[in-house]
Amino acid sequence: MNKLTRRSALKTIGKGTLLAASTPLSIPPELQFSDKKHFISLCWDDGFLKSSIKTARIFEKYGLSASFNVVASGHFKSFKQPDEYQITPKGDFVLWNEFEAGGHEVMPHSYKHTNLAQVPLEEAKHLINICLDYFGEHLNNFDAKKSIFHFPYNASTPEIESWLSDKVQSYRTGRTGWNGDNALTFKKLLTCTAYGPHSTELHLQKQIDELLARPEGWLIYNTHGLDGEGWGPMRADWLDRLLGTLTEIESVAVLPPAQVQAMFK
């Protein structure tokens, strides 16, 4: 695969300078950049083998890092599909390490894709613990404290979020795709939107159009597979055209969530 380092990914979007604190923008002054106003994070969940490889190649074509959020036991022979969209085969940690070394972001998306809002709190804690342990043992350079936990089904509870907030850098759950309006939550709580089970293309395009109509903002959008794979898929050639268009827009930066957060440290 093409070598794409975090450094080169950041280079492609420029360094930018902080705006004056008095500028009347909804993003807090410490989060404002002068040259990039519209941040888009596409979060590719579930780790389908075929779709993940295609997605990585398309992002690399444009010099971009992708955000892959994978199920710790998804590649086990014993993995049981919790819903009809958890298709197999999924990628394994050889592939995830290759992606990570190539500059993509690989983050935990649970141990076995259980809806953690629908099990007892202690069970949810256990499943998150063994997920983070598995990542620690199998994903090079993984540090739970610097990770983003992407909740399966974007489903969480205040109790799980509160417990998890000390274990990881951030977590991503449901609610809205608009992030960055609140400096307090920017570093811990990330929220996203998604559309399915049929094609997500129209809905995603509308969200991006809405973002671009705003003076600035950060859209986190939960995506899954390509060409019919997974919940709410899109066509590979549609994604290719989308990234081609977005990388031509001066104000837009397409980045994984942790890279957006790192820009505003």
Start-to-end CA distance of the chain, whole Å, equals 30
Closest distance to Zn ion from the beta carbon of 33 (Å): 31
Is 229 a residue that touches Zn ion (CB under 5 A)? no
Give one DSSP letter per residue of 210-236, joined into a string.
HHHHSSSEEEEEEE--BTT-SSS-B-H
Closest distance to Zn ion from the beta carbon of 247 (Å): 27
Is 46 a residue that touches Zn ion (CB under 5 A)? yes
Our CB check for Zn ion shows the closer of 231 and 264 to be: 231
Question: Where does this chain touch Zn ion (CB under 5 A) — which range of 19-27, 91-99, 144-152, 181-189?
Answer: 144-152
Q: What residues from 65 to 104 belong to the interface with Zn ion (CB under 5 A)? A: none
Closest distance to Zn ion from the beta carbon of 62 (Å): 25
Closest distance to Zn ion from the beta carbon of 209 (Å): 26
Could you tell me the strand order of the sheet in which 170-173 lies? 148-150, 170-173, 189-191
Nearest of 77, 73, 146 to residue 107 by alpha carbon: 146
Residues counted in the chain: 265
Our CB check for Zn ion shows the closer of 226 and 246 to be: 226
Our CB check for Zn ion shows the closer of 33 and 99 to be: 99
User: In terms of DSSP H, where are the helices of the chain?
Assistant: 6-13, 49-61, 93-101, 121-138, 158-164, 183-186, 201-213, 236-246, 257-263
Within 8 A by CB and 6+ apart from 225, the residues are 46, 48, 50, 51, 87, 233
Question: Where does this chain touch Zn ion (CB under 5 A) — which range of 27-35, 151-159, 214-222, 251-259?
Answer: 151-159
Closest distance to Zn ion from the beta carbon of 153 (Å): 7
Is 105 a residue that touches Zn ion (CB under 5 A)? no
Which residues of the chain form contacts with Zn ion (CB under 5 A)?
45-46, 152
